[in-house]
Amino acid sequence: MKDNLLVMKDLQNKLPNLSILLSEPLSKHTFIKTGGNGDIFIKPKDIHELQTIVKYVHTNEIPLTVLGKGTNVIIKDTGIRGVIVSLEKFNHISVNGREIHSGSGANIIDVSRTALSFGLTGLEFACGIPGTVGGALIMNAGAYGGEISEVLISSTIINGSGEIITLREGEFQFGYRNSVFAKENYIIVDAVFRLEEGDPEAIKAKMDENTFLRESKQPLEYPSCGSVFKRPPNYFAGKLIQDSGLQGTRIGGAEVSTKHAGFIVNVDNATSSDYLKLIKHVQKTVKEKFGVDLETEVKIIGDE
């Protein structure tokens, strides 16, 4: 693989205004505040810059990782090699009749608040999900009976070789916390959501109810990555962990939340290694007690 300085110079020759950070601490970009350094960290400002970066890394066989708000990732303490792209500058949101158009770096919470202010219903479920639109599409994020698959009608992506493609309804292959975007490693550039006209007071009441449920059940006072494990068929991960007596179990600074057993919280300067050891311990204990395999919902990324 090319030397990092050479990659930086090559990219700056192609895109003179591109700002590139070398050895960026990725703990600054994850919700749990852990993770090692990223070799080459870039925040492109538009689709042209993004496409140029993707074509360059494809040609030079350099690994590429996309980060949203880092609310659903654990980045290993050894960090990430190659290029890391943050799409936080792709944060536009606009409304056209019943459709909301947004960049993949916009916060899904802001998109749901925009829907409220235009009296559009369908995104109330997303009002407390702390990630970006890109992360929400990848994960088919959902809560309180709603999920992204119900409202997405199109999305522009860039594939691994740098082609720009627009996907439409019927092409998203949505499943439980899964999508064509995840399966094909597509880079999500933007999204269009189709909503229904609704009563602003009813929309607000639903969002307030969801917020109340979230605040009363989730340990929002600590850094976390949300629900660590997927819901296993016929069970609830949190209940299995609770019934295994694991709440309060701590490794280093990471602790199985005493408020919601499905969350692991960073209570005291945890490292990603603390998180990963605790995840393994929870999986082993639940398997021994109930014979159920817990699969992680959170994405574990990074290199040795």
Ligand X SMILES: Cc1cc2nc3c(=O)[nH]c(=O)nc-3n(C[C@H](O)[C@H](O)[C@H](O)COP(=O)(O)OP(=O)(O)OC[C@H]3O[C@@H](n4cnc5c(N)ncnc54)[C@H](O)[C@@H]3O)c2cc1C
Give me the active site residues, please.
177, 227, 297
Q: Based on C-alpha coordinates, what's the Rg of the chain?
A: 20
CB closer to ligand X, 44 vs 56: 44
Stretch that binds ligand X, among 17-25, 36-44, 71-79, 167-175 (CB under 6 A): 71-79
Is residue 225 close enough to count as binding ligand X by CB under 6 A?
yes
Is residue 72 close enough to count as binding ligand X by CB under 6 A?
yes
C-alpha torsion sign, points 273, 278, 283, 288: positive
Kindly tell me which residue out of 36, 142, 146, 262 binds ligand X, with binding defined by CB under 6 A: 142
Instruction: Tell me which H or E stretch contains 74.
Output: strand 73-75
- In the complex, what is the shortest distance from the CB of residue 38 to ligand X, in angstroms, rounded to a whole number? 12
Alpha carbons within 13 A on the beta-carbon side of 153: 10
Kindly tell me which residue out of 71, 114, 155, 249 binds ligand X, with binding defined by CB under 6 A: 71
Is residue 241 close enough to count as binding ligand X by CB under 6 A?
no
Strand, helix or coil for residue 46: coil
Q: What character string, x for contact with ligand X (CB under 6 A) and - otherwise, covers 100-139? A: ----x------------------------xxxx-xxx-xx
Stretch that binds ligand X, among 12-20, 113-121, 168-176, 219-227 (CB under 6 A): 219-227
Long-range contacts at 158-167 (CB < 8 A, ≥ 24 apart)? 158/47, 158/50, 158/51, 158/54, 158/186, 158/187, 158/189, 159/184, 159/186, 159/187, 160/54, 160/58, 160/185, 161/54, 161/55, 161/58, 162/51, 162/54, 162/55, 162/58, 164/47, 164/51, 164/189
- In the complex, what is the shortest distance from the CB of residue 131 to ligand X, in angstroms, rounded to a whole number? 2
Residues that bind ligand X (CB under 6 A): 31, 65-73, 87, 104, 129-132, 134-136, 138-139, 141-143, 187-188, 218, 220, 224-226, 299
